[in-house]
Amino acid sequence: MDLRGRPGQAAFTLLEVVLALIVLEIGVLGIAGTLYLASTTLRRAETLERAVARAEGVLDSLGRGAEPGAGRASFSAGEVAWSVGDSGQVEVHATGPTGALLFRVRSILPVR
Amino acid sequence: MTAVLPLAGRARVGALRGASVSEMVVALLAGLLVVHLALGTLERFRSAQVRLAGRTDALVALRVSRHLLRAELRVGLPGRDWRLADDSLGLRAFRGTALVCPTRPSPDELLVRYAGMRAPDPTKDSLLLVTGRGEVEVRALAGVAATADPCAAAGPGTVGRWRLDREPPPGVVLARLFERGSYHLSGSALRYRRGLSGRQPLTPEVWTLPETAWTRTYEAIGVRLVPGDAGAGAAWSGFLAWTDRP
Protein backbone atom coordinates (compact mmCIF):
# COMPACT_ATOMS: atom_id res chain seq x y z
CA MET A 1 0.00 0.00 0.00
CA ASP A 2 1.39 3.33 -1.00
CA LEU A 3 -0.20 6.14 0.98
CA ARG A 4 2.15 8.85 -0.16
CA GLY A 5 1.37 8.66 -3.83
CA ARG A 6 3.64 9.35 -6.72
CA PRO A 7 4.19 12.31 -9.00
CA GLY A 8 1.47 12.51 -11.65
CA GLN A 9 -1.02 10.41 -9.67
CA ALA A 10 -4.39 12.10 -8.92
CA ALA A 11 -5.23 12.62 -5.26
CA PHE A 12 -7.11 14.93 -2.92
CA THR A 13 -5.22 17.86 -1.60
CA LEU A 14 -5.34 18.80 2.06
CA LEU A 15 -7.49 21.83 1.21
CA GLU A 16 -10.07 19.64 -0.53
CA VAL A 17 -10.22 17.29 2.43
CA VAL A 18 -10.66 20.20 4.84
CA LEU A 19 -13.43 21.71 2.69
CA ALA A 20 -15.22 18.36 2.51
CA LEU A 21 -15.04 18.05 6.29
CA ILE A 22 -16.42 21.57 6.70
CA VAL A 23 -19.35 20.79 4.40
CA LEU A 24 -20.00 17.60 6.37
CA GLU A 25 -19.83 19.51 9.63
CA ILE A 26 -22.36 22.06 8.39
CA GLY A 27 -24.75 19.21 7.60
CA VAL A 28 -24.26 17.63 11.01
CA LEU A 29 -24.76 20.95 12.76
CA GLY A 30 -27.92 21.54 10.73
CA ILE A 31 -29.40 18.24 11.84
CA ALA A 32 -28.40 18.88 15.44
CA GLY A 33 -29.92 22.35 15.29
CA THR A 34 -33.17 20.96 13.95
CA LEU A 35 -33.31 18.40 16.74
CA TYR A 36 -32.60 21.07 19.34
CA LEU A 37 -35.33 23.31 17.93
CA ALA A 38 -37.80 20.42 17.92
CA SER A 39 -36.92 19.57 21.50
CA THR A 40 -37.31 23.17 22.64
CA THR A 41 -40.64 23.54 20.90
CA LEU A 42 -41.89 20.28 22.38
CA ARG A 43 -40.79 21.31 25.88
CA ARG A 44 -42.69 24.57 25.51
CA ALA A 45 -45.77 22.69 24.30
CA GLU A 46 -45.54 20.36 27.30
CA THR A 47 -45.24 23.27 29.70
CA LEU A 48 -48.15 25.05 28.07
CA GLU A 49 -50.32 21.94 28.18
CA ARG A 50 -49.64 21.45 31.87
CA ALA A 51 -50.30 25.10 32.60
CA VAL A 52 -53.62 24.98 30.74
CA ALA A 53 -54.60 21.85 32.64
CA ARG A 54 -53.74 23.50 35.95
CA ALA A 55 -55.60 26.68 35.02
CA GLU A 56 -58.67 24.66 34.08
CA GLY A 57 -58.56 22.94 37.45
CA VAL A 58 -58.29 26.31 39.17
CA LEU A 59 -61.26 27.73 37.26
CA ASP A 60 -63.29 24.63 38.06
CA SER A 61 -62.48 25.04 41.73
CA LEU A 62 -63.26 28.75 41.72
CA GLY A 63 -66.61 28.08 40.12
CA ARG A 64 -67.50 25.80 43.01
CA GLY A 65 -66.23 27.89 45.89
CA ALA A 66 -68.67 29.89 47.98
CA GLU A 67 -66.31 32.86 48.29
CA PRO A 68 -63.56 32.48 45.71
CA GLY A 69 -60.47 34.56 46.25
CA ALA A 70 -57.03 35.17 44.84
CA GLY A 71 -54.31 32.60 45.09
CA ARG A 72 -51.51 30.79 43.39
CA ALA A 73 -50.60 27.18 42.78
CA SER A 74 -47.57 25.53 41.31
CA PHE A 75 -47.41 22.80 38.76
CA SER A 76 -44.50 20.71 37.56
CA ALA A 77 -43.17 23.37 35.18
CA GLY A 78 -44.24 26.67 36.61
CA GLU A 79 -46.91 28.48 38.51
CA VAL A 80 -50.50 29.56 38.05
CA ALA A 81 -51.85 32.62 39.84
CA TRP A 82 -55.36 34.03 39.86
CA SER A 83 -57.37 36.93 41.16
CA VAL A 84 -61.11 37.43 41.50
CA GLY A 85 -62.90 40.76 41.11
CA ASP A 86 -66.02 41.92 42.91
CA SER A 87 -68.28 41.20 39.97
CA GLY A 88 -67.06 37.65 39.56
CA GLN A 89 -64.42 38.45 36.99
CA VAL A 90 -61.48 36.15 37.34
CA GLU A 91 -58.05 36.48 35.81
CA VAL A 92 -55.67 33.57 35.61
CA HIS A 93 -52.12 33.81 34.41
CA ALA A 94 -49.49 31.13 34.15
CA THR A 95 -45.72 31.48 34.19
CA GLY A 96 -43.14 28.99 33.07
CA PRO A 97 -40.03 27.72 34.87
CA THR A 98 -38.10 30.89 33.99
CA GLY A 99 -40.89 33.16 35.19
CA ALA A 100 -41.91 34.11 31.65
CA LEU A 101 -45.62 34.61 31.08
CA LEU A 102 -47.20 31.66 29.29
CA PHE A 103 -50.75 32.98 29.02
CA ARG A 104 -53.29 35.20 30.69
CA VAL A 105 -56.98 34.37 30.70
CA ARG A 106 -59.92 36.47 31.84
CA SER A 107 -63.25 34.85 32.54
CA ILE A 108 -66.39 35.28 34.57
CA LEU A 109 -67.37 32.87 37.29
CA PRO A 110 -70.79 31.25 36.91
CA VAL A 111 -73.52 32.84 39.00
CA ARG A 112 -74.34 30.68 42.00
CA MET B 1 13.13 -2.99 -30.89
CA THR B 2 11.72 -1.21 -27.94
CA ALA B 3 9.70 -3.21 -25.50
CA VAL B 4 6.61 -1.47 -24.08
CA LEU B 5 5.89 -2.50 -20.56
CA PRO B 6 2.37 -2.50 -19.20
CA LEU B 7 1.52 0.15 -16.60
CA ALA B 8 1.69 -2.24 -13.71
CA GLY B 9 5.01 -3.41 -14.91
CA ARG B 10 6.30 0.12 -15.20
CA ALA B 11 5.25 0.91 -11.68
CA ARG B 12 7.28 -1.95 -10.41
CA VAL B 13 10.31 -0.81 -12.28
CA GLY B 14 11.10 2.11 -10.05
CA ALA B 15 11.89 1.87 -6.44
CA LEU B 16 8.80 0.54 -4.65
CA ARG B 17 7.68 3.06 -2.06
CA GLY B 18 5.06 2.09 0.52
CA ALA B 19 3.85 3.34 3.86
CA SER B 20 5.73 2.48 6.92
CA VAL B 21 4.04 0.44 9.64
CA SER B 22 3.73 3.47 11.88
CA GLU B 23 2.06 5.45 9.10
CA MET B 24 -0.40 2.66 8.49
CA VAL B 25 -1.21 2.40 12.18
CA VAL B 26 -1.77 6.15 12.42
CA ALA B 27 -3.94 6.12 9.30
CA LEU B 28 -5.98 3.18 10.58
CA LEU B 29 -6.44 4.79 13.98
CA ALA B 30 -7.51 8.07 12.38
CA GLY B 31 -9.93 6.20 10.15
CA LEU B 32 -11.34 4.26 13.08
CA LEU B 33 -11.74 7.47 15.06
CA VAL B 34 -13.65 9.14 12.24
CA VAL B 35 -15.91 6.09 11.80
CA HIS B 36 -16.45 5.86 15.55
CA LEU B 37 -17.39 9.53 15.80
CA ALA B 38 -19.70 9.27 12.80
CA LEU B 39 -21.47 6.19 14.17
CA GLY B 40 -21.73 7.79 17.61
CA THR B 41 -23.26 10.93 16.13
CA LEU B 42 -25.74 8.90 14.11
CA GLU B 43 -26.69 6.90 17.19
CA ARG B 44 -27.21 10.10 19.20
CA PHE B 45 -29.37 11.55 16.46
CA ARG B 46 -31.41 8.37 16.29
CA SER B 47 -31.96 8.16 20.04
CA ALA B 48 -32.80 11.87 20.18
CA GLN B 49 -35.39 11.37 17.45
CA VAL B 50 -36.86 8.38 19.28
CA ARG B 51 -37.09 10.39 22.51
CA LEU B 52 -38.73 13.28 20.69
CA ALA B 53 -41.24 10.95 19.08
CA GLY B 54 -42.00 9.37 22.47
CA ARG B 55 -42.51 12.74 24.13
CA THR B 56 -44.72 13.86 21.26
CA ASP B 57 -46.85 10.73 21.61
CA ALA B 58 -47.11 11.27 25.36
CA LEU B 59 -48.16 14.87 24.85
CA VAL B 60 -50.78 13.89 22.29
CA ALA B 61 -52.10 11.17 24.59
CA LEU B 62 -52.24 13.59 27.52
CA ARG B 63 -54.05 16.24 25.49
CA VAL B 64 -56.56 13.81 24.01
CA SER B 65 -57.26 12.11 27.34
CA ARG B 66 -57.73 15.34 29.24
CA HIS B 67 -59.95 17.09 26.70
CA LEU B 68 -62.01 14.03 25.91
CA LEU B 69 -62.73 12.94 29.46
CA ARG B 70 -63.49 16.43 30.70
CA ALA B 71 -65.82 17.11 27.76
CA GLU B 72 -67.66 13.84 28.29
CA LEU B 73 -68.10 14.21 32.03
CA ARG B 74 -68.97 17.88 31.97
CA VAL B 75 -72.35 17.32 30.33
CA GLY B 76 -73.38 14.41 32.54
CA LEU B 77 -74.54 13.99 36.06
CA PRO B 78 -72.33 11.88 38.35
CA GLY B 79 -73.99 8.70 39.50
CA ARG B 80 -76.69 8.95 36.88
CA ASP B 81 -74.87 9.60 33.62
CA TRP B 82 -71.44 8.30 34.55
CA ARG B 83 -69.96 6.13 37.23
CA LEU B 84 -66.37 5.21 38.07
CA ALA B 85 -65.81 1.51 38.66
CA ASP B 86 -62.50 -0.11 39.57
CA ASP B 87 -60.74 0.22 36.25
CA SER B 88 -63.31 1.77 33.99
CA LEU B 89 -65.47 4.81 33.68
CA GLY B 90 -68.90 3.80 32.49
CA LEU B 91 -71.04 6.53 31.08
CA ARG B 92 -74.08 7.46 29.14
CA ALA B 93 -72.42 9.91 26.81
CA PHE B 94 -74.44 12.80 25.48
CA ARG B 95 -74.35 12.94 21.70
CA GLY B 96 -77.05 15.32 20.62
CA THR B 97 -80.47 16.92 21.05
CA ALA B 98 -83.60 16.58 18.97
CA LEU B 99 -86.58 18.92 19.00
CA VAL B 100 -89.76 16.88 18.63
CA CYS B 101 -92.03 18.09 15.88
CA PRO B 102 -95.75 18.37 16.69
CA THR B 103 -96.80 15.86 14.03
CA ARG B 104 -96.52 12.17 14.93
CA PRO B 105 -95.96 9.75 11.99
CA SER B 106 -97.11 6.70 13.97
CA PRO B 107 -97.70 5.80 17.66
CA ASP B 108 -94.14 4.60 18.28
CA GLU B 109 -92.41 7.11 16.02
CA LEU B 110 -91.29 10.68 16.48
CA LEU B 111 -90.64 13.28 13.84
CA VAL B 112 -87.64 15.21 15.11
CA ARG B 113 -85.20 17.90 14.14
CA TYR B 114 -81.85 16.58 15.32
CA ALA B 115 -78.52 18.31 15.84
CA GLY B 116 -75.62 16.52 17.46
CA MET B 117 -72.04 15.36 17.38
CA ARG B 118 -72.83 12.43 15.12
CA ALA B 119 -75.73 10.70 13.42
CA PRO B 120 -77.93 8.58 15.69
CA ASP B 121 -77.19 4.85 15.75
CA PRO B 122 -80.08 2.57 16.77
CA THR B 123 -77.72 -0.25 17.77
CA LYS B 124 -76.02 1.79 20.49
CA ASP B 125 -78.10 4.80 21.41
CA SER B 126 -80.85 5.50 23.87
CA LEU B 127 -83.10 8.51 24.34
CA LEU B 128 -84.06 10.63 27.27
CA LEU B 129 -87.46 12.07 26.40
CA VAL B 130 -88.49 15.29 28.10
CA THR B 131 -92.15 16.31 28.20
CA GLY B 132 -93.58 19.79 28.33
CA ARG B 133 -94.25 19.31 32.05
CA GLY B 134 -90.62 18.51 32.71
CA GLU B 135 -91.05 14.76 33.15
CA VAL B 136 -88.36 12.50 31.69
CA GLU B 137 -88.55 8.96 30.40
CA VAL B 138 -85.99 6.68 28.79
CA ARG B 139 -86.57 4.90 25.50
CA ALA B 140 -84.35 2.84 23.23
CA LEU B 141 -83.88 3.99 19.68
CA ALA B 142 -85.14 1.23 17.41
CA GLY B 143 -84.78 2.83 14.00
CA VAL B 144 -83.89 5.98 12.15
CA ALA B 145 -85.06 7.16 8.75
CA ALA B 146 -84.55 10.33 6.80
CA THR B 147 -87.66 12.13 5.71
CA ALA B 148 -88.73 15.16 3.75
CA ASP B 149 -91.71 15.78 6.01
CA PRO B 150 -91.93 19.38 7.21
CA CYS B 151 -91.22 20.06 10.87
CA ALA B 152 -92.75 23.00 12.66
CA ALA B 153 -90.04 22.98 15.33
CA ALA B 154 -87.62 25.67 14.26
CA GLY B 155 -83.93 25.30 14.85
CA PRO B 156 -80.73 23.84 13.48
CA GLY B 157 -80.40 20.22 12.43
CA THR B 158 -81.92 17.73 10.07
CA VAL B 159 -85.43 16.31 10.15
CA GLY B 160 -85.83 12.56 10.59
CA ARG B 161 -88.21 9.87 11.78
CA TRP B 162 -87.13 8.02 14.92
CA ARG B 163 -88.80 4.76 15.83
CA LEU B 164 -88.73 3.92 19.53
CA ASP B 165 -88.90 0.59 21.33
CA ARG B 166 -92.30 1.59 22.70
CA GLU B 167 -94.69 4.47 22.57
CA PRO B 168 -93.32 7.77 23.87
CA PRO B 169 -95.06 9.64 26.68
CA PRO B 170 -97.63 12.26 25.66
CA GLY B 171 -96.46 15.82 25.34
CA VAL B 172 -92.82 15.00 24.58
CA VAL B 173 -91.00 18.05 23.28
CA LEU B 174 -87.35 17.15 23.49
CA ALA B 175 -85.21 14.06 23.04
CA ARG B 176 -81.64 13.86 24.25
CA LEU B 177 -79.53 11.25 22.53
CA PHE B 178 -77.11 9.22 24.62
CA GLU B 179 -74.57 6.58 23.77
CA ARG B 180 -73.68 3.91 26.27
CA GLY B 181 -69.98 3.27 26.59
CA SER B 182 -67.06 3.06 28.94
CA TYR B 183 -63.56 4.44 29.08
CA HIS B 184 -60.70 2.20 30.15
CA LEU B 185 -57.07 2.77 31.03
CA SER B 186 -55.76 -0.49 29.70
CA GLY B 187 -53.12 -1.75 27.32
CA SER B 188 -51.02 1.41 27.87
CA ALA B 189 -53.69 3.63 26.30
CA LEU B 190 -57.00 5.28 26.94
CA ARG B 191 -59.62 3.11 25.29
CA TYR B 192 -63.30 3.49 24.64
CA ARG B 193 -65.78 0.68 24.51
CA ARG B 194 -68.86 1.73 22.62
CA GLY B 195 -71.89 -0.37 23.45
CA LEU B 196 -70.85 -4.00 23.53
CA SER B 197 -68.08 -3.66 20.96
CA GLY B 198 -64.37 -4.02 21.69
CA ARG B 199 -62.12 -1.52 23.41
CA GLN B 200 -60.72 0.82 20.80
CA PRO B 201 -57.59 2.85 21.60
CA LEU B 202 -58.05 6.60 21.55
CA THR B 203 -54.46 7.55 22.29
CA PRO B 204 -51.01 6.23 21.45
CA GLU B 205 -49.96 3.37 23.73
CA VAL B 206 -47.66 5.31 26.01
CA TRP B 207 -48.99 4.93 29.56
CA THR B 208 -47.35 2.81 32.21
CA LEU B 209 -49.69 0.54 34.12
CA PRO B 210 -50.62 0.29 36.97
CA GLU B 211 -49.15 3.73 37.78
CA THR B 212 -51.61 5.23 35.32
CA ALA B 213 -54.98 5.04 37.02
CA TRP B 214 -58.17 6.82 37.90
CA THR B 215 -58.02 8.80 41.11
CA ARG B 216 -60.91 9.44 43.44
CA THR B 217 -61.22 11.92 46.27
CA TYR B 218 -64.16 12.80 48.45
CA GLU B 219 -65.71 15.19 45.95
CA ALA B 220 -63.93 14.71 42.64
CA ILE B 221 -62.45 12.19 40.31
CA GLY B 222 -59.30 12.62 38.33
CA VAL B 223 -56.72 10.64 36.51
CA ARG B 224 -52.99 10.12 36.90
CA LEU B 225 -51.22 9.56 33.60
CA VAL B 226 -47.64 8.31 33.62
CA PRO B 227 -45.83 8.02 30.28
CA GLY B 228 -43.78 4.86 29.97
CA ASP B 229 -40.31 6.13 29.13
CA ALA B 230 -40.60 9.86 29.71
CA GLY B 231 -39.59 9.76 33.37
CA ALA B 232 -41.48 10.53 36.55
CA GLY B 233 -41.37 14.26 35.84
CA ALA B 234 -43.62 13.79 32.83
CA ALA B 235 -46.42 12.28 34.90
CA TRP B 236 -49.61 14.31 35.00
CA SER B 237 -52.30 14.21 37.64
CA GLY B 238 -55.41 16.16 36.96
CA PHE B 239 -58.96 16.89 37.85
CA LEU B 240 -61.73 15.55 35.63
CA ALA B 241 -65.08 16.15 37.29
CA TRP B 242 -66.85 16.68 40.54
CA THR B 243 -68.68 13.67 41.92
CA ASP B 244 -71.10 15.77 43.97
CA ARG B 245 -72.60 18.29 41.60
CA PRO B 246 -73.62 21.41 43.63
pLDDT at B246: 47
The verdict on A6 touching B (C-beta cutoff 8 Å) is yes
Assigned domain for B42 exists: no
Task: Mark whether B102 and B137 lie in a shared domain.
Answer: yes
Task: Mark whether B84 and B193 lie in a shared domain.
Answer: yes
Nearest to B19 among A3, A38, A64 (CB): A3
Looking up residue B169, the CATH number of its domain turns out to be 2.40.10
Q: How far is B218 from chain A (nearest CA, A)?
A: 14
Q: Which residue in chain B is spatially nearest to A49 when comparing CA positions? A: B63
| pLDDT tens per residue, range B172-214 | 999 999 888 899 988 889 999 887 788 899 998 888 888 888 8
Which residues does chain B have within 8 Å of residue A38's beta carbon, measured at their own beta carbons?
A: 52
Task: Mark whether B196 and B224 lie in a shared domain.
Answer: yes
Please report, in tens digits, the pLDDT of each residue of chain B (246 residues total): 444 545 444 545 455 667 788 888 998 999 899 899 989 988 998 998 888 888 888 888 888 988 888 888 887 778 878 888 877 888 888 889 999 998 888 889 999 999 988 889 888 888 999 998 888 888 989 999 988 888 887 888 889 999 999 999 988 999 999 888 899 988 889 999 887 788 899 998 888 888 888 888 877 888 888 887 655 567 787 788 888 754
Q: Which residue in chain A is spatially nearest to B51 when comparing CA positions? A: A39
Output the pTM of the full model: 0.71
Is this prediction's ipTM beyond 0.85?
A: no
Q: Could you give all domains of chain A from N- to C-terminal order, each with its CATH number?
A: 14-108 (3.30.1300)
pLDDT at B215: 87
Assigned domain for B36 exists: no
Q: Report the domain count for chain B.
A: 2
Range of the domain at B221: 55-88+182-242
Q: How far is B164 from chain A (nearest CA, A)?
A: 37
Task: Mark whether B111 and B126 lie in a shared domain.
Answer: yes
Please report, in tens digits, the pLDDT of each residue of chain A (112 residues total): 555 555 666 778 889 888 998 998 899 899 889 989 998 998 888 888 888 888 888 888 887 766 778 888 888 888 999 998 877 788 999 998 888 999 998 888 766 5
Task: Mark whether B94 and B214 lie in a shared domain.
Answer: no
* DSSP per-residue string spanning chain B: -PPPPPHHHHHHHS------HHHHHHHHHHHHHHHHHHHHHHHHHHHHHHHHHHHHHHHHHHHHHHHHHHHHHHTS-BTTTEEE-SSEEEEEEEEEEEEEPS--SSTTEEEEEEEESS---TTTEEEEEEETTS-EEEEEEEEEEE------S-SSSEEEEEEESSPPPTTEEEEEEEEEEEEEEETTEEEEEETTSPEEE-S-S-B-TTTSEEEE-SSEEEEEE-BSSS-GGG-EEEEEEESS--
Task: Mark whether B130 and B150 lie in a shared domain.
Answer: yes
Residue A104's closest CA among A58, A95, A72, B67? Answer: A95
- Distance, in Å, from the CA atom of B113 to the CA atom of B170, rounded to the nearest integer, reads 18
